[in-house]
Structure 1
């Protein structure tokens, strides 16, 4: 189904972290918007189920087993996408981990490094190989998943918070490097969204919902409420938007 605000007909889009949550919702929405979708994540069986859904609705999609903590896996995901579909027009770098939830003084160097490997190196490698491919095909659009914690602090989540600040830094630098060559790079900063990661961070869905009772929205967001802005940023409808991080949080950060 064509969406005039996010027409991605015939565009090839790579999605990392596509097996669940925001990544899965975005992959399905991309398929409905006419894109050819390459789904990348560690859980191949989950990816194959999503590919089947996209194909059943008349779309095109492939699954690529990918661990974003391994540079060669990301290089392979981009190369496989280009080989299968002929080009790369866009990417949603969504894969990431929460890490250990604890005060800084209780964390180890290994705890910190685990989060940096996935959330920072993973995005760096993704940008590196995606931009390389897009330069060969005349440009494209990239969206990174940061977080509202890239705009604020959040106790007991310091590795995650630091990693998402880094994602915004990478987004802005890559945006400056790519714009004159037809590549735009932006980020979405989700607030609390109903995903497996958020439920882990807050202990349960009930805790997540209770925490947000007094927030402006009074509820957590749904994955598709992130997917829609991502599609807009990947499309030509956002052609003059570059290097920005968008809080999508129901007003959480303006309290």
Structure 2
């Protein structure tokens, strides 16, 4: 399907894992895509090459999501390179786990900066470019609504905050024809949480479908929300977690 012909998209944290799968799926659907990366330049350029092989424009932008100025600047750069902006996917995120007594101030600050502040700033900057049919899609977590194990409360808190932000921003931008939604992945086979990792069996045991998802599963849902088919969907959250939260 090519539901996004002529659209221009920015995917934060798009060099690997879920972000890379999203960037490629949007390109497969017809969009030109810019993506951000922090350290993985080689992987980011590989994704850009795959996008260009599909006949789309692709750009890799270095941006540390913990740096507020870099977050805002990358949105402007993407819009300039792409010739506008129609879709923002807030995918970049970090995980700092452990019991509350062991959190450092650096852990707290980094989690809030990347998982919340960067989403807010990127969305604020993108809103200046988005017109009728514009899309903002954030990647949350199944832990945002139901915490099924200890040691993840800092991460869960940061993703839960995005639910309120999504609902509020949907109200703010709805009159302009811009939709705002959030996708909540469950255990997905990535570098951050590999399906062969030491915690994987315990996670599978909590699912209705006892297997890890693939990044491409998440990308498919994002592509739908970015498309015209989802024009009447806004302020909504979508669990894609193998039934862990059923």
Counterpart of 2:127 in structure 1 is 131
Counterpart-to-counterpart distance in 1, 2:153 and 2:206: 24
* Alignment correspondent of 2:236: 244
How much does 1:224 deviate?
A: 0.4
CA positional deviation for 1:232: 0.4
**Equivalent position to 2:14, from 13, 18, 27:** 18
1:212 corresponding residue in structure 2: 204
Gaps of 5+ in 2: none
SS at match of 1:197: coil
Mapped to 2, the partners of 1:253 and 1:155 lie a distance apart of 16
The separation in 1 between residues aligned to 2:24 and 2:171, in whole angstroms, is 30
Structure 1: where are the runs of 5+ without partners? none
1:194–1:221 Cα contact (<8 Å) kept: yes
Match of 1:50 in 2: 47
Q: Is the 8 A contact 1:209 1:220 kept in 2?
A: no
Q: Counterpart in 2 of 1:228?
A: 220
Q: Provide TM-score, normalisation by structure 1.
A: 0.91
Distance in 2 (CA, whole Å) between partners of 1:131 and 1:155 is 36
8 A contact 1:67–1:73 mirrored in 2 = yes
State the partner residue of 1:9.
5
Is the CA contact (8 Å cut-off) linking 1:194 and 1:205 kept in structure 2? no
Matched, 1:174 2:166: no
Contact 2:139 2:183 in 1 (8 A): yes
- State the Cα RMSD in Å: 1.5
Secondary structure of the residue aligned to 2:199 is helix
Which structure is higher in helix share? 1
Return the match for 1:60 from 57, 62, 65: 57
Contact 2:33 2:82 survives alignment (8 Å)? no
SS at match of 2:235: coil
